């Protein structure tokens, strides 16, 4: 038995079975767009830890900042001290927010915790309980966020009763709306967005009145739900609905934030400013850090002591986040993201159809380097078969949603040459999986 196989066997024996895993690789090194397993084999990583290492694995600027910070202050507990790395981070983030109105921050560790911080703020500030989320949403796996996550029953099955006061509205997922599938020539994405808003109004009349509804929580682009981009104008309609009914709008940018969509935050594509913005993942290039940001007047409605946590805004993680922001500026990551996005989308849309069996259709969608590839008319498990074929080509990709969908999440500094390689390997993986379907 190989060293890698022995280590994987040890891991399966001693790591909680509740953790799902897409590969059995045992990795020991990451650099840029690649990871290496313990036996030295190199893999092209199109996952970035599910949208976390947006600057690539072990970016030297981030590594240096972490090393220097670890030698000076590793932990400055937020309920005891101000610490400079956090204050520097706030200064660096302020001018990158979708609006100067978003000026007051609270930092935590994980995306789930940040979502819970947003819910705590919304409930305490409005003195209302109910939260509206959307079909296909993913907001975490902690006890509070399980109730908010609807992308798969896997995440909450067997753990009930869950947090009360949560209501689910339809997300304008045009490709999977029954009306669209019945007659795709009759309904447009814009109609889908309008109908989703109408259904939300019905929910407010039938299930949770505005007087009881603290917030609407939404991913501006759904992540785990399938990399679904809402129709143009939908987010503005949602903002107007929240304003009409005095409901807070919370945007979960855990996966779509920090340059992933070609702008610092996905809401910037829509012209909408949320009341509370949730961030994590790409904020610190792999170090545990998350946060929420809101207007100071809203944040000040919480009394001192109601928020905090042992590792909230850890000094080393904040130093990594500050270095991440420097990389964004020094290497023009947003510009590269948009250039590589155009390269990916044009090539994938041109090449994938020819690699598929007859009668199968594909939707290549997303923004920036948040790329979803949904196959329609394929047997169950097709997307997973593509991921396994990619692994044979030394490439790591992930599936997402309950539908047959791949997601590509390369680092924002992926090169033109690496993008060409990624495109070829993904298309060849689809062709290999298609041959199995034909057989």
Distance, in Å, from the CA atom of 284 to the CA atom of 256, rounded to the nearest integer, reads 14
Q: According to the model, what pLDDT value does residue 179 have?
A: 66
User: What is the residue-averaged pLDDT of the chain?
Assistant: 96
Owner of token pair 């935590």? 108
Instruction: Using the Cα atoms of residue 349, residue 355, residue 359 and residue 363 in order, give the sign of their dihedral.
Output: negative
Its pTM stands at 0.96
pLDDT at 229 over 80: yes
**Contact (CB, 8 A) for 199 and 179:** no
**Contact (CB, 8 A) for 220 and 266:** yes
**Contact (CB, 8 A) for 312 and 110:** no
pLDDT at 152 over 80: yes
Q: Give me 93's structure tokens.
A: 């983030």
Q: Give me 164's structure tokens.
A: 């009360």
Average pLDDT over residues 58-63: 98
pLDDT tens-digit map of 353-381: 999 999 999 999 999 999 999 999 999 99
pLDDT at 178 over 80: no
Distance, in Å, from the CA atom of 258 to the CA atom of 92, rounded to the nearest integer, reads 13
Q: Give me 338's structure tokens.
A: 């948009």
Q: According to the model, what pLDDT value does residue 437 have?
A: 80
Closest CA relative to residue 401, chosen from 363, 346, 356 = 363
pLDDT at 242 over 80: yes
- What is the percentage of the chain residues whose pLDDT exceeds 70? 98
Owner of token pair 């919370």? 250
Fold of 63-330: 3.40.640
**Contact (CB, 8 A) for 437 and 357:** yes
Q: First CA to last CA across the chain, in angstroms?
A: 33
Our CA angle for 15, 113, 118, nearest 5°, is 160
Owner of token pair 């104008």? 233
Q: According to the model, what pLDDT value does residue 38 have?
A: 95
pLDDT tens-digit map of 185-203: 778 889 899 999 999 999 9
- Pairing between β-strand 42-45 and β-strand 395-396 as defined by DSSP bridges: parallel
pLDDT at 1 over 90: no
Q: According to the model, what pLDDT value does residue 89 have?
A: 98
pLDDT tens-digit map of 272-287: 999 999 999 999 999 9
**Contact (CB, 8 A) for 174 and 208:** no
Q: According to the model, what pLDDT value does residue 3 have?
A: 87
Average pLDDT over residues 347-354: 98
**Contact (CB, 8 A) for 364 and 228:** no
Buried b (16+ CB within 10 A) or exposed e, 152-190: eeebbeeeeeebebbbebbbbbbbbbeebeeeeeebebe
Q: According to the model, what pLDDT value does residue 439 have?
A: 58
User: Please, where are the H alpha helices in 132-225?
Assistant: 143-146, 178-182, 189-206
Please report which confidence band the pLDDT of residue 177 belongs to, taking 50, 70 and 90 as the band edges. Answer: confident
Closest CA relative to residue 149, chosen from 402, 411, 341, 386 = 402
pLDDT tens-digit map of 286-318: 999 999 999 999 999 999 999 999 999 999 999
Q: According to the model, what pLDDT value does residue 185 have?
A: 73
Distance, in Å, from the CA atom of 100 to the CA atom of 78, rounded to the nearest integer, reads 24
3-state helix, strand, coil in the chain (%, to 5): 45, 15, 40
Taking each helix axis as running N to C, give the angle between helix 333-355 and helix 315-330, from 0 to 180 degrees, rounded to the nearest 10. Answer: 80
Instruction: Using the Cα atoms of residue 102, residue 106, residue 109 and residue 111 in order, give the sign of their dihedral.
Output: negative
Residue 380 burial class via C-beta count within 10 angstroms: exposed 0-12, middle 13-18, buried 19 and up: exposed
pLDDT tens-digit map of 313-334: 999 999 999 999 999 999 999 9
Closest CA relative to residue 52, chosen from 112, 137, 111 = 111
Buried b (16+ CB within 10 A) or exposed e, 272-290: bbbbbbbbbbbbbbbbbbb
């Amino acid at each position: 038995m190989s060293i890698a196989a022995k280590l994987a066997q040890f891991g399966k024996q001693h790591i909680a079975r509740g953790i799902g895993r897409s590969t059995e690789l045992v990795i020991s090194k990451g650099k840029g767009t690649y990871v290496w397993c313990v036996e030295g084999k190199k893999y092209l990583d199109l996952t970035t830890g599910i949208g976390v290492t947006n600057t690539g694995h072990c970016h030297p600027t981030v590594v240096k900042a972490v090393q220097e910070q670890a030698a000076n202050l590793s932990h400055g507990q937020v309920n005891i001290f101000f610490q400079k790395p956090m204050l520097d981070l706030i200064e660096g983030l302020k001018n990158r927010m979708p609006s100067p109105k978003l000026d007051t921050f609270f930092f935590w560790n994980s995306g789930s915790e940040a979502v819970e911080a947003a819910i705590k703020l919304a409930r305490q500030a409005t003195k209302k309980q109910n939260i509206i989320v959307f079909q296909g949403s993913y907001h975490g796996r902690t006890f509070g966020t399980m109730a908010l996550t609807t992308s798969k029953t896997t995440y909450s099955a067997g753990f009930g009763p869950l947090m009360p006061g949560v209501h689910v509205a339809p997300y304008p997922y045009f490709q999977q709306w029954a009306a669209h599938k019945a007659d795709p020539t009759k309904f447009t994405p814009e109609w889908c967005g309008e109908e989703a808003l109408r259904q939300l109004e019905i929910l407010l009349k039938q299930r949770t009145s505005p007087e009881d509804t603290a917030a609407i929580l939404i991913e501006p682009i759904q992540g785990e739900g399938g990399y679904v981009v809402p129709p143009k104008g939908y987010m503005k309609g949602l903002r107007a609905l929240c304003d009409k009914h005095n409901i807070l709008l919370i945007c979960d940018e855990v996966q779509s934030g920090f340059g992933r969509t070609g702008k610092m935050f996905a809401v910037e594509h829509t012209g909408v400013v949320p009341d509370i913005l949730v961030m994590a993942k790409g904020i610190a290039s792999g170090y545990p850090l998350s946060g929420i940001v809101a207007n100071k007047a809203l944040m000040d409605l919480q009394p001192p002591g109601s928020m905090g946590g042992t590792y909230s805004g850890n000094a080393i993680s904040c130093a990594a986040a500050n270095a991440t922001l420097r990389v964004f500026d020094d290497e023009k990551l947003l510009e590269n993201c948009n250039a590589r996005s155009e390269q990916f989308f044009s090539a994938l849309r041109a090449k994938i159809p020819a690699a598929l069996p007859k009668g199968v259709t594909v939707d290549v969608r997303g923004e920036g380097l948040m790329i979803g590839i949904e196959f329609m008319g394929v047997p169950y498990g097709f997307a997973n078969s593509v991921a396994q074929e990619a692994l044979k080509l030394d490439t790591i990709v992930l599936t997402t949603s309950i539908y047959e969908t791949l997601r590509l999440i390369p680092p924002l500094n992926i090169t033109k040459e690496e993008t060409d390689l990624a495109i070829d390997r993904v298309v060849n993986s689809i062709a290999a999986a298609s041959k199995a379907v034909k057989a």
